[in-house]
Amino acid sequence: MKLLMIILFFRLIHFGRSFYCYWNTGCPYKYLASETPYNSVRGDIRDSIVKLEGCEPASIWGIYRHGKRYPVMPEGNLMKGGISIKNYITSSYENGHSGMCAQDVDNLRNWEYNDRVFENKEDLTDEGRKEMMFLGKRFREAFPDLLDEVQKSTSTFRSAKGPLFENSIKELVRGLQGKAKLSIDDPKSSFDDINPHLNCKKYLNEVSNNFNVLSEVEKYINTSDYLVVSKTKYNYTCKTLYNLCRYTWSGIDTRVSPWCAIFTKDDLQVLEYEEDLQHYFKNGYGSPINEILGRIPLANLYETFEGAKNGNGKRFVAYVTDDTTIEQIYSAIGLFKDSKPLSGVKQDHDRKWRSSIMSAFSANFVAVLHRCRNERTTDYNVVFYMNEEPVISICEDGVCSWQEFQNKLQSFVNTTFDICKE
């Protein structure tokens, strides 16, 4: 029965899809939700740094998602099992029952199996290590003077607990390292303001572990758009083939995955929207508690810059956490907020909430405090960056005066964790 379904799957492709060759499409769809490689969406801080006349960087605060990771159980086991479908794809093509292009089939046939991808370990891949190290190197080149003056007392480098996060901060610091010897703090073993959701019972009970939160996702997977994809692509499993596409795509080497040739651009957009719905309600505006939790790390940002402004703060702060915290921060500060909530009734192609961009592997949100002097006064401005590109929507022209920065973030210092005790 399973073989019959797979043969039917390829016949549906043969008769139901337009002639489309993935290998030479020129601009393959690269937005793979929260498993998007960082190089697919990043800018370059060396080129995009905002230089303010008469000003110099006084302090940098940044929060980073961990680098590309290995798939965890049961993802890895399912993907490992799903590789067997490669034989059906090639034999189906040879027997004239496939609409895939010859080169796409060849690329999949010649794809080399790497057992390390499916080891189910909670750690970075080699690509994830490079992502974080190269990210640090670019920041070092962009802010050499500030980093050369950093000492243990004027810096904080810390990650959430676990090898995935701890190895990410090590690689980031390796890239940042120059003349100054940078020291990494131990992760916190209890409540941590860089991933407060992990210790919030209200969040865990009412959002993270509450299937009702994903009612809009359930609506979407029953729409005609989604059913067309699932019925013609997933006689194995929906997520397995999508994950094979995502986890075998290399952003560092600019090498797309031959597994992605199974999908059309429309297919990938449908799957991306499904995950965006999940992230919207689990980590974003779909659940009000996310905005509250996002204020906690932003309070740390405000206090860091206030201390630097008063002459006793940190010059460089870097934290490594998860995609949940990153998206909660964006919710708290009002970024990527659509005019109306995302809906599972129909895909919103013009939505602002895009996990592919917001929370790709190694995604980051960085603020730079500038000290500006003239003959009479000293003033301070703040510039925000996301994935190494300036964020212009927080303040006019992307530069916040100290007063604007204070108006937006000072109240977050009063955020309490009491809501999580319910």
| 79-93, 143-157, 227-241, 372-386: least confidently modelled range | 227-241
20 has pLDDT over 50: yes
Residue-number span of the structural domain to which 94 is assigned: 2-421
**Into how many domains does the chain fold?**
1
| 13-27, 241-255, 325-339, 375-389: least confidently modelled range | 13-27
18 has pLDDT over 90: no
Report pLDDT digits (tens) over 41-80. Answer: 999 999 999 999 999 999 999 999 999 999 987 888 888 8
The CATH code of the domain that includes 104 is: 3.40.50.1240
State residue 2's pLDDT score.
44
CA dihedral of 375, 380, 386, 391, whole degrees rounded to 10: -80
Report pLDDT digits (tens) over 110-166. Answer: 998 888 888 767 899 999 999 999 999 999 999 999 998 888 889 999 999 999 999
The average pLDDT across 238-248 equals: 91
- What is the DSSP annotation of 159-227? E-SSHHHHHHHHHHHHHH-SSSPP-PPPPPSS--TTSGGGG-HHHIIIIIT-GGGGHHHHHHTTSHHHH
- What is the DSSP annotation of 61-130? EEEEE---BPPPTTHHHHHHHHTTHHHHHHHHHHTT---S-HHHHHHHHTPPP-GGGGS--SSB-HHHHH
176 has pLDDT over 90: yes
Report pLDDT digits (tens) over 351-362. Answer: 999 999 999 999
| Cα 296 to Cα 298: distance, rounded to the nearest angstrom | 5
State residue 302's pLDDT score.
98
**Confidence band for 421, pLDDT divided at 50, 70 and 90:** confident
Report pLDDT digits (tens) over 276-317. Answer: 999 999 999 999 999 999 999 999 999 999 999 999 889 999
State residue 122's pLDDT score.
85
